[in-house]
């Protein structure tokens, strides 16, 4: 209730942003996901409100309006707040809550005047995003974040975010095909992701091709046992 009520104040009262972000991250998964529900997932008549819900059952209870906070908050400010809070933590990797909340801070369309700031944010979090690409639980969220940057309509953001993270993508492939004992995403899902990017053509196709060819040269045994060759045909 509090998060729904405060979200529209975040533009004018920036001192509320750190507290808002901290409380959101601590929400139980089901409640957090409801608050971050994409506008497309909400009935058009209700967007950007999720609707009125009953939180406490009883004869005199009230219904409260629950809002899709990610449709109403200042995206860049909240992304900066997220990163600043993350920098003070000692996490080796992101949990699902971090993946969901950061994805919700990224707008569907970037403002060209904010390009440098978004690129600076991406630079700070990209290591966590590409590690998550290999994690079966976080893979889908990771692909969504990567595509938001790599395939965005602002050329500066797309080009520089691609060029600045191909080495980390290569590291992710090495981890996926290594003998390290850890949970890993199914190869087919990774191939689908890479093929989708490659099919977009242009810079992203060139960089995906370069990463796969480098992997073939530096990890020949792993490449032979993989199906990465299917991306380039």
- pLDDT class of 90 with cuts at 50, 70, 90: confident
Rg (CA), the chain: 20
Cβ atoms 105, 79 nearer than 8 A: yes
pLDDT value, residue 37: 78
- pLDDT class of 64 with cuts at 50, 70, 90: low
| 50/229: higher pLDDT | 229
d(CA 160, CA 158): 6
What is the reported pTM?
0.87
pLDDT value, residue 63: 59
Q: What percentage of the chain reaches a pLDDT higher than 70?
A: 88
Q: Tens digits of per-residue pLDDT, 129-176?
A: 999 999 999 999 999 999 999 999 999 999 999 999 999 999 999 999
d(CA 159, CA 55): 46
Q: Tens digits of per-residue pLDDT, 98-127?
A: 999 999 999 999 999 999 999 999 999 999
- pLDDT class of 46 with cuts at 50, 70, 90: very low
DSSP conformation letters of 10-77: TTT-GGGHHHHHHHHHTS-HHHHHHHT--GGGS-TTTTTEEEEEESS-STT--EEEEE-GGGTS-HHH
Please check the confidence at residue 184 and state whether its pLDDT lies above 50. Answer: yes
Mean pLDDT score across all residues of the chain: 89
Please check the confidence at residue 39 and state whether its pLDDT lies above 80. Answer: no
Q: Where are the domains of the chain?
A: 2-71, 106-232
User: 51 - beta bridge partners?
Assistant: 66
- pLDDT class of 2 with cuts at 50, 70, 90: confident
Q: Tens digits of per-residue pLDDT, 7-34?
A: 999 999 999 999 999 999 999 998 899 8
pLDDT value, residue 93: 85
pLDDT value, residue 41: 45
Please check the confidence at residue 66 and state whether its pLDDT lies above 50. Answer: yes
């Amino acid at each position: 209730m509090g998060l729904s009520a405060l979200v529209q104040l975040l533009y004018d009262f920036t001192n509320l942003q750190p507290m808002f972000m901290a409380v959101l991250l601590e929400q139980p998964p089901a409640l957090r996901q409801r608050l971050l529900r994409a506008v497309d997932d909400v009935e058009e008549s209700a967007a950007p409100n999720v609707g009125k819900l009953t939180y406490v059952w009883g004869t005199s209870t009230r219904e409260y309006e629950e809002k899709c906070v990610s449709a109403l908050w200042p995206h860049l400010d909240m992304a900066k707040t997220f990163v600043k809070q993350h920098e003070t933590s000692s996490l080796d990797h992101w949990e699902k809550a971090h993946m969901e909340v950061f994805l919700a801070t990224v707008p569907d369309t970037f403002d060209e005047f904010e390009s440098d700031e978004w690129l600076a944010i991406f630079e700070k979090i990209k290591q966590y995003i590409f590690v998550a690409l290999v994690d079966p639980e976080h893979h889908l969220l990771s692909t969504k974040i990567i595509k938001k940057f790599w395939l965005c309509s602002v050329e500066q953001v797309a080009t520089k975010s691609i060029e600045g993270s191909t080495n980390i993508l290569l590291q992710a492939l090495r981890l996926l095909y290594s003998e390290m004992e850890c949970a890993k995403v199914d190869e087919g899902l990774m191939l689908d992701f890479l093929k989708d990017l490659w099919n977009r053509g242009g810079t992203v196709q060139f960089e995906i091709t370069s990463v796969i060819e480098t992997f073939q040269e530096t990890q020949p045994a792993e490449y032979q046992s993989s199906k990465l060759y299917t991306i380039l045909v």
